[in-house]
Amino acid sequence: MLGTWLSRFSDVHRLAGGGEAIYPEAYYLAADLPIDADAARRWLPWPLRPTQPARATFFTAWFPSTSFGSSYREAGVFVHVVRPASSRPAVFSPWMIVDDDVALIFGRELLGYPKKLGKIEFEITDQTVEAHASRRGHTLIEMSAKVGRELSHPPPIIGQPHVNMLGSVGLRPPWLVAFTPRETPISVREVELDLRIQGSERDPLHLLRAGTPTSARLHCVSISASAPPIPVVPVSPLFALHTLPLRCW
């Protein structure tokens, strides 16, 4: 029994980077946008509420290599939130798609990211980035960027406080969990971005009514394991049921 447990612990330690970076080089093309506060509230569990003014970060990402052996792409939304028990702002992820099943399972089971399988393209050169995210025949996010100057004091993209919903509908309610990924910037550059956001019945991103980007950046970062997620508060089963289509359908 002890030998089996130690073997499983060793496997988890190895998959988590074994002391090295889980993502040695991760690329995020990200844009900060104003969103409709009322729409955002419907996607947030209690006691989270949107910042004032309400805003979100839409992104596409490419992970060329990982400690768990996958190379994959991702697209998602971080809604910026405030928490009654903390003075620090955080982000909550209501929607995310990925094109790798291992990354999907790890993200959902360990960290509460609501990942679904989708199709993402991410093409990068020294001067441009072209990214497209779609699912079930519907184009959802299109990004076309011209890469500009290096930023000396950029905000983090992944290394900021996260609050996600871990678990699903059932007799045992899901919980909000809090964690902060460990991010090491390699290069962060300003971009001139053309962005188009659309929605579908299964992925209704249009309901957030996102406005014109206030800033856009190309992040190249290294991501390492951090402290495990900390349970904060249980989530209402009604909210979990209400958002189940967005997270799973």
Q: What confidence tier does 7 reach under pLDDT thresholds 50, 70, 90?
A: very low
Q: One-letter amino acid identity for 151?
A: L
Q: What angle do CA 113, 201, 106 make, to 5 degrees?
A: 15
Residue 5 lies in a domain: no
| Backbone phi, psi, residue 172, to 5° | -95, 115
Are 91 and 57 contacting, i.e. CB atoms less than 8 angstroms apart?
yes
* pLDDT in the model for residue 167: 86
* pLDDT in the model for residue 8: 37
User: Domain of 89?
Assistant: 24-248
pLDDT tens digits for 61-88?
A: 999 999 999 999 999 999 999 998 777 8
* pLDDT in the model for residue 19: 60
Tokens representing 13 are 């330690």
| CATH label of the domain that carries residue 188 | 2.40.400.10
**In terms of pLDDT, which residue wins out, 75 or 10?**
75
Q: One-letter amino acid identity for 4?
A: T
Residue 16 lies in a domain: no
* pLDDT in the model for residue 14: 46
Residue 116 lies in a domain: yes
Residue 137 lies in a domain: yes
Residue 1 lies in a domain: no
* pLDDT in the model for residue 172: 77
Q: Give me the residue label for tokens 């702002």.
A: 89
Residue 13 lies in a domain: no
* Separation of alpha carbons 100 and 115, rounded Å: 10
Residue 89 lies in a domain: yes
| Mean pLDDT comparison of 4-8, 38-42, 82-86, 225-229, highest-scoring range | 38-42
Tokens representing 47 are 């006691």
* Separation of alpha carbons 80 and 88, rounded Å: 11
Q: What confidence tier does 191 reach under pLDDT thresholds 50, 70, 90?
A: very high
Q: Give me the residue label for tokens 């697209």.
A: 75
* pLDDT in the model for residue 11: 46
* pLDDT in the model for residue 68: 96
For range 190-209, the mean pLDDT: 97
Flag whether pLDDT at 5 surpasses 60: no
Q: What percent of the chain has pLDDT over 90?
A: 82
Residue 12 lies in a domain: no
Are 175 and 166 contacting, i.e. CB atoms less than 8 angstroms apart?
yes
pLDDT tens digits for 175-189?
A: 999 999 999 999 999
Task: Please tell me the total count of domains within the chain.
Answer: 1
pLDDT tens digits for 111-134?
A: 999 999 999 999 999 999 999 999
Tell me the DSSP string of 158-199: SSS-EEEEES-SSSSPPEEEEE--EEEEEEEEEEEEEEEE--
